[in-house]
Amino acid sequence: MSSGNVDVTAAGQRRVVITGVGAVSPAGVGADALFAAAVDGTCAIKPLTTEAAEAVNVHVAGLVADFDGTEHGLTKKQARRWERFVQYAAVAADEAMKDAGFAQVAPTDDDGNPVAGATEAGFMLPDGVDATRFAVVFGSGIGGMEMFTSESIRLHEKGAKRVNPLFIPTMISNIAAGELAIRFGLKGECANAVVACTTGTQCIGEAYRLIKWGVADYALAGGAEESVCDISIAGFSNLGALSHGEDPAATSRPFDASRDGFVAGEGAGAVVLETLESAQARGAHIIAEIVGFGTSCDAYHITSPDPSGEGVVRAMRNALADAGMTPADVGHLNAHGTSTVINDATEAAAFCELLGVDFSEVPVTSTKGITGHMLGAAGAVEAIVTALSVANDLVPPTAGFTEADPACPVTVLTEARRDYPQKLALSNSIGFGGHNATLAVAPFKE
């Protein structure tokens, strides 16, 4: 395929595979740490002791503890200037790009300087990889809230002339995608789908579509968030969305009868997608395959999902139709599962409607029992867990779940189900504004 051209004969027929994953989450830095916590059902939620959190009766959060970007490949300047959501995105993306074999460290000359063609970060793409066909689709639900808060205070206390000149390009949510494109020298489509808590899933789905339909051959996709900050905690708590529990291990409880709200989390998830043809030609390790993507809108309410679950059902059906599969092919659901009363009941009703009489045979899991709700990053880390789950023939348990809720008549595991081959799994996201998105992820088969 020549640079800048679209192979229309292959459009819509190209298979899209995952060849790299990376994560920064409350479970630690790295996709291995995330997946190990998911399989073991290890809750990574921690106490939150800020003055603002105490004022609104919030006691725990999915914190990325003791994170220092300079320990994970960032320069001191980047760690000082970049908002945390961008730092999380860069560290997760570094892992994913290296995992896929695309983030090659550029050789240096006799003076130790990277050779021509290297990016400022010292990376260069392998020979034969066209940077203009390498897309970046990476989002954040709310962007740089800490910068927004601090500069608003500065404006109020010290006046307009003292506002940081880099305020806008530092806090806007698309800057993670822009910085990643610069970091790796990726010159294809660069976009940021901002759809609240559906952002990570939507970004991966849009990247999948770009490749499937011949607009790109490769993509770096995902989401990042820095939502554990005073203004976010206060806003979500005053909205009535957050749990007021005090035990970190028993506060985020998706589908549990005692759930009372979500736990705010933060971090990033990144995946590298490419055509099957490219991955095989490179001899890349193929983790899993994205076989379908579906979206829908409830058109119901700005924060509450339509309690009938009709919009969620449509997103899942659209993903299955895109995959050319049926509900009978679903091995498990990685649910949005926020631990809020309305969301979990709605999603459970939607899944039962999708599967019909067979719903009790198909397990449901939620990663949010481990990480809390990572907002715009949630769908990305959940897509990673889903891909690794189908690749390893298992379904993770849901941390925090102890007592079934009759309003959520789905099968929630308390221990990992192993030796469980699946045709595909669904990964759901639901966002404020009525946004629904579903990825259909399958183990790779020739």
Q: Which phi and psi angles does 418 have, rounded to 5°? A: -105, 170
The amino acid occupying position 275 is T
From first CA to last CA, the distance across the chain in angstroms is 22
Q: Which phi and psi angles does 417 have, rounded to 5°? A: -95, 115
Strands (E), 82-175: 104-105, 123-124, 134-139
Which residues carry out catalysis? 197, 336, 373
Strands (E), 37-144: 46-47, 60-61, 104-105, 123-124, 134-139
CA gap 64, 43 in Å, rounded: 13
CA gap 68, 432 in Å, rounded: 31
What is the per-residue DSSP string for 181-250?
A: HHHHT--S-EE----GGGHHHHHHHHHHHHHHTTS-SEEEEEEEE---SHHHHHHHHHHT-B-----GGG
CA gap 225, 157 in Å, rounded: 27
- Report which of 409, 264, 255 is spatially closest to residue 337, judged by C-alpha positions: 255
CA gap 290, 439 in Å, rounded: 7
